[in-house]
Chain A
Amino acid sequence: MSLVHWAILAPFILAIFVPFFRKKAATIHTGWFVLILPVVLFVSFLQYLPVTMNNNSITHSAAWIPSLGIDFSVYIDGLSLLFILLITGIGSLVVLYSIYYLSKTKESLQHFYVYLLMFMGAMLGVVLSDNVITLYMFWELTSISSFLLIAYWFDRDRSRYGALKSMLITVFGGLMMLGGFLVLSIMGGTFSIRELAVQAPDLYHHPLFLLAMILILLGAFTKSAQFPFYIWLPDAMEAPTPVSAYLHSATMVKAGIYLVARFSPIFAFSSYWFWIVSAVGLFTMIWASFNAVKQTDLKGILAYSTVSQLGLIMGLLGAGSAALYFDSLDDNLYTAAVIAAIFHLINHATFKGSLFMVVGIIDHETGTRDIRRLGGLMSLMPVTFTLSVIGAFSMAGLPPFNGFLSKEMFFLSMVQLSELNLFNLETWGIFFPVLAWIGSVFTFIYSMIIVFTVFTGKFQPEKLEKKPHEAPAGMLVSPIILAVLVIVFGLFPNLLSYSLIQPAAAAIVPSIIPSGEQLDVNIYFWHGITAELLMTIAVVLVGIILYTFLPKWVGLYNYFPGKVTLNNLYDASLYTVERGSNSITKSYMSGFIRSYLVYIFAFFIALLGFTLWAKDAFRYDASNTSPIGYYEIGLLVVLCVATATILMAKSRLTSIISLGAVGYSVSLFFVIFRAPDLALTQLVIETVSTALFLLCFYHLPKLSRHEEKMSFQIGNALIAAGVGITVTLIGITAHSTKLFSSINEYYIENTYKKAGGENMVNVILVDFRGFDTLFEIAVLSVAALGIYALIKLRLEKGDDSVNENK
């Protein structure tokens, strides 16, 4: 266990003490105790920067289940360090923000911080794990803690609905991913991601390659809210705003991005990877940005915008993988796309985190997040306004913020992609920049909505629950830090180029870089009049026009069929599954024992009959049979007549007596076949059981004591005949195929010699195989005590007094 291991475990350990802080130091907001940890972690992980900057990595291994090859090994390279710094850095800011956001007295802080710390530890585990099984474990822990955090206000219906939805979708993806991991580890023979990446060129030719890829991508897409799995994210906005800022914009939803980036070295050789990842990403981007415009809830807008931006990053990662697939390319596309993805990942975390916090402030200070009720807050909340301008303009991709740069790089890589002439269809390539451009226009529009609808226009105090005023200073610290970062990264992008972006890009596909060299990462603020700059100008112009005339065309959204949404599909499918399984269960669990017997016997006939037929197992061999005597024929006739009488009898009494006749004839058979012990026992037992039947008959209730013949049903007759025939065939077959001789010779020899008896049956019962007898008398005892208890212990329904007295 190295220090890095302890860093992953530290949040879990601290989580244990959170309730203690809450109880013993109730006067101090619990968040202050929690805040220390992410800050310490952030600072201590900074020391790895020099290591990763030289494209080196650090591995620490600790045994967990060595016999299964599962270990708890951590791996720090540029990619994981980038995520660690995001998780701990934004984690610190979110904890600080939550201290002012959540009331010390009204909220159950112990739960909040336990869940949050759990999530933080799990997230660290996801990005640091090298072993896929450990990765999966932490992955599910993020799902669980996210579930708990979304339903933090568990007395609200919407919270529980959102939590359940996110749980179902992300756990579905998580399980698919586990399947993918297992398939992958079967292919590669190891659980370690690094060792798998080494084998990547061989794995590509494995028949299971595509299956593993799709399963792992399902996990990544569900977690990162890609189309069509994004539907849980808007509903997860019921969580407290710090949670939305942390989990649903900066960290957890990027776990899928991390997964795609981490597994790129393994899968990116395949063109499927390129097509699936980039197509899903781009489609998600345009679809979500399109949907974000019609939202009226601020957090709803942000949720859709998160989905859209994640789609953008995903699309860029996909585009970057094309550089691996098309060997003929130089590294330019890869450099452009992957670096754009990483840069935008950082940028998105900064501006989206601050925007969520801004929305949280607006919600906190006005009591609503509905943009139809908000307006004219600019003069009342100047700091918040400034922050939202920075965040939203960066999101829209305007200079001088960092979003501008990553948007430019996005366009650049899309333009480069369009020049590839994929599959010799020149028309296909052009789709990439066009889709990207349309998505960006919508992004521009909703970013403007966030700023201008809320802060300009007419102030409507009568629609607000509280009197709005500027937020307390403590609440503003975190968004201010993030907004400052937005500007700093925008103005000085090369601050990050070689410290964070280059190592992360190098980690995603190490094989593309000649050893000992570094990728050329140089992000210029001004790079001349290029296609992408013109595209951005066009985005701004069209965006401004569309935003100005928004009320004129927003009605167009109503033309879209409102019912046909993925949410309705999800709800309907849940409903259908529930109703469907209910009706299926109802259709065959009829509650009648008769139907269950029909199933059992039908399966009996089907399985055994089919086996007999399919294996061609039926044999008939008369060489071992004895000659048939007259007594046997006579007795058989009696037996058959008695059996037929049972079935045909009009009265139950006749049936009982016939059953007795059957029993006595069986005991006569025992006599004929020379089994005196059996005959004796059968005689006595038959007498007793007939007496008991008569007892039951006597006590039948008067009302239903119809003397009527058993009704004939063709189905029952067929099944009965089927069972009889099957058993008979199996009996004949079994008798005809004697594979080895019986062991009875031993008993015959040794009954007297070893056991000192002459009655072989009895000696077998009490000596050779006395163990069986012991438990048979135990069965008898249980039966007797059961009858005693049934008769003596007569509890009335709902009568608890008997139990209480005892």
Chain B
Amino acid sequence: MKTNDVIFQTVAKVVFFMIIFFAVRIFFAGHYYPGGGFVGGLLTSGAIVLLLLAFDLKTVKKILPVDYKWLISLGLLFATGTAAGSVLFNVPFFTHAYDYFQLPLFGKTSLHTAMLFDLGVYLVVIGVTMTIIQTIGESE
């Protein structure tokens, strides 16, 4: 049963980026507004699921040639690395640091090592969700 889902696919292509941007926005805003790595990661994977629904597993794999299990380990590495990094500066494990920087384009911005930790969470959540969904989707 081959159906023509041109409309769906076209809309998906557009909406995908909208969701991704929203996810990234929520991720970065996490420290000041509702959001953060967890919800951001879930929304990002939601965007990828949309692609999966519109196209098929193989196509999506071609578009995003990512092994999500690696993403999990990368995320865990970020998270533990951020936490362990503080040890190098002779402060307790998991001490965060932040400061304000004058960046081009953004202006005065607060940069926080907690963001790196949140990035780890973000990656892990994407990896986990996508691994589960892909594995179940592929199984016979």
Complex contacts, B39 vs chain A, CB 8 Å = 677, 680-681, 684
- Complex CA gap A784/B75 in Å reads 13
- Complex CA gap A770/B30 in Å reads 14
- Complex CA gap A574/B41 in Å reads 63
Residue A780 interfacial (CB < 8 Å): yes
* Min CB–CB distance A162 → chain B (angstroms): 59
- Complex CA gap A676/B32 in Å reads 12
- Complex CA gap A784/B112 in Å reads 29
From known contacts A680-B35, A763-B114, A770-B117, infer whether A780 and B128 are also in contact, taking CB-CB under 8 Å.
yes
Which segment, of B5-13, B57-65, B119-127, faces chain A? B119-127
Contact A792 B135 (CB under 8 A): yes
Contact B35 A762 (CB under 8 A): yes
Complex contacts, B94 vs chain A, CB 8 Å = 770-771, 774
From known contacts A684-B43, A771-B94, A785-B131, infer whether A777 and B34 are also in contact, taking CB-CB under 8 Å.
no
B37 to chain A: closest residue by CB: A766
A783 to chain B: closest residue by CB: B128
* Min CB–CB distance A755 → chain B (angstroms): 7
Band of interface residues on B: 35 or more
* Min CB–CB distance B76 → chain A (angstroms): 6
Complex contacts, A770 vs chain B, CB 8 Å = 83, 94, 96, 114, 117
B110 to chain A: closest residue by CB: A756
Q: Mark B61-92, 1 if CB is under 8 A from A, else 0.
A: 00000000100110110011001000000000
Contact B114 A680 (CB under 8 A): no
**B80: contacting residue among A692, A774, A791, A792, CB under 8 A:** A774
Residue A276 interfacial (CB < 8 Å): no
Contact B79 A762 (CB under 8 A): no
A771 to chain B: closest residue by CB: B94
- Complex CA gap A774/B83 in Å reads 9
- Complex CA gap A757/B31 in Å reads 5
- Complex CA gap A773/B122 in Å reads 12
**B30: contacting residue among A762, A777, A780, CB under 8 A:** A762
- Complex CA gap A762/B112 in Å reads 13
A695 to chain B: closest residue by CB: B136
Q: Mark A650-688, 1 if CB is under 8 A from B, else 0.
A: 000000000000000000000000001100110011001
From known contacts A777-B125, A781-B128, infer whether A759 and B139 are also in contact, taking CB-CB under 8 Å.
no
> In chain A between 781 and 795, which residues have their CB closer than 8 angstroms to a CB of chain B?
781, 783-785, 787-788, 791-792
From known contacts A781-B76, A781-B127, infer whether A758 and B31 are also in contact, taking CB-CB under 8 Å.
yes
Contact A677 B35 (CB under 8 A): yes
From known contacts A757-B112, A766-B121, infer whether A787 and B33 are also in contact, taking CB-CB under 8 Å.
no
Complex contacts, B114 vs chain A, CB 8 Å = 755, 757, 763, 766-767, 770
Complex contacts, B128 vs chain A, CB 8 Å = 780-781, 783-784
Residue A765 interfacial (CB < 8 Å): yes
Max count, chain A CB within 10 A of own CB: residue among B73, B76, B118, B132: B132
- Complex CA gap A767/B112 in Å reads 10
Residue A481 interfacial (CB < 8 Å): no
> In chain A between 92 and 123, which residues have their CB closer than 8 angstroms to a CB of chain B?
none
Complex contacts, B135 vs chain A, CB 8 Å = 787-788, 791-792
- Complex CA gap A676/B117 in Å reads 21
A778 to chain B: closest residue by CB: B76
Contact A787 B79 (CB under 8 A): no
**B32: contacting residue among A680, A759, A780, A781, CB under 8 A:** A759
Contact B132 A787 (CB under 8 A): yes
From known contacts A766-B118, A787-B132, infer whether A684 and B72 are also in contact, taking CB-CB under 8 Å.
no
* Min CB–CB distance B21 → chain A (angstroms): 16
**A685: contacting residue among B42, B118, B121, CB under 8 A:** B42
Contact B38 A774 (CB under 8 A): no
| Interface of chain B: mostly helix, strand, loop or mixed | helix
- Complex CA gap A45/B72 in Å reads 74
* Min CB–CB distance A767 → chain B (angstroms): 5
Contact B96 A773 (CB under 8 A): no
* Min CB–CB distance A696 → chain B (angstroms): 10
- Complex CA gap A758/B121 in Å reads 19
Complex contacts, A692 vs chain B, CB 8 Å = 136
From known contacts A781-B128, A788-B69, infer whether A684 and B36 are also in contact, taking CB-CB under 8 Å.
no
Complex contacts, B46 vs chain A, CB 8 Å = 684
Band of interface residues on A: 35 or more
Complex contacts, A788 vs chain B, CB 8 Å = 69, 131-132, 135
Complex contacts, A774 vs chain B, CB 8 Å = 79-80, 83, 94, 117
**A787: contacting residue among B43, B83, B127, B136, CB under 8 A:** B136
Contact A759 B33 (CB under 8 A): yes
- Complex CA gap A783/B114 in Å reads 25
Complex contacts, B43 vs chain A, CB 8 Å = 684
B34 to chain A: closest residue by CB: A676
- Complex CA gap A774/B79 in Å reads 7
**A763: contacting residue among B31, B34, B37, B69, CB under 8 A:** B31
> In chain B between 91 and 118, which residues have their CB closer than 8 angstroms to a CB of chain A?
94, 96, 98, 110, 112, 114, 117-118
Q: Mark A603-645, 1 if CB is under 8 A from B, else 0.
A: 0000000000000000000000000000000000000000000
Complex contacts, B75 vs chain A, CB 8 Å = 777, 781
- Complex CA gap A759/B34 in Å reads 6
* Min CB–CB distance B29 → chain A (angstroms): 8
Contact A677 B34 (CB under 8 A): yes
B32 to chain A: closest residue by CB: A758
Contact B69 A766 (CB under 8 A): no
**B120: contacting residue among A758, A762, A777, A791, CB under 8 A:** A777
- Complex CA gap A766/B129 in Å reads 20
**B124: contacting residue among A685, A781, A792, CB under 8 A:** A781
Complex contacts, A695 vs chain B, CB 8 Å = 136
**A791: contacting residue among B30, B34, B139, CB under 8 A:** B139
- Complex CA gap A90/B38 in Å reads 81
B68 to chain A: closest residue by CB: A784
Complex contacts, A784 vs chain B, CB 8 Å = 69, 72, 127-129, 131-132
* Min CB–CB distance A779 → chain B (angstroms): 10
Contact B98 A756 (CB under 8 A): yes
**B112: contacting residue among A676, A685, A756, CB under 8 A:** A756
**B96: contacting residue among A755, A758, A781, CB under 8 A:** A755
From known contacts A680-B39, A763-B114, A766-B114, infer whether A780 and B124 are also in contact, taking CB-CB under 8 Å.
yes
- Complex CA gap A411/B94 in Å reads 86
Contact B42 A684 (CB under 8 A): yes
- Complex CA gap A680/B72 in Å reads 22
- Complex CA gap A757/B121 in Å reads 17
- Complex CA gap A758/B29 in Å reads 10
- Complex CA gap A544/B18 in Å reads 116
- Complex CA gap A791/B132 in Å reads 10
Complex contacts, B118 vs chain A, CB 8 Å = 762, 766
Q: Mark B16-57, 1 if CB is under 8 A from A, else 0.
A: 000000000010001111111111001100100000000000
B99 to chain A: closest residue by CB: A756
- Complex CA gap A770/B84 in Å reads 12
Complex contacts, A767 vs chain B, CB 8 Å = 96, 114
* Min CB–CB distance B111 → chain A (angstroms): 9
For the complex of A and B, 8 pairs with smallest distance between CB atoms? A676-B34, A757-B31, A784-B128, A756-B98, A758-B32, A777-B124, A784-B131, A762-B36
4 more A-B residue pairs beyond the given contacts A784-B129, A788-B131, with a C-beta to C-beta distance below 8 A: A756-B112, A762-B118, A766-B96, A791-B139
28 A-B residue contacts at CB 8 Å?
A680-B35, A680-B39, A681-B38, A681-B39, A685-B42, A688-B42, A695-B136, A755-B96, A757-B31, A759-B35, A761-B36, A762-B36, A765-B36, A766-B31, A766-B36, A771-B83, A774-B83, A774-B94, A777-B79, A777-B121, A778-B76, A781-B72, A781-B75, A783-B128, A787-B132, A788-B131, A788-B132, A791-B138
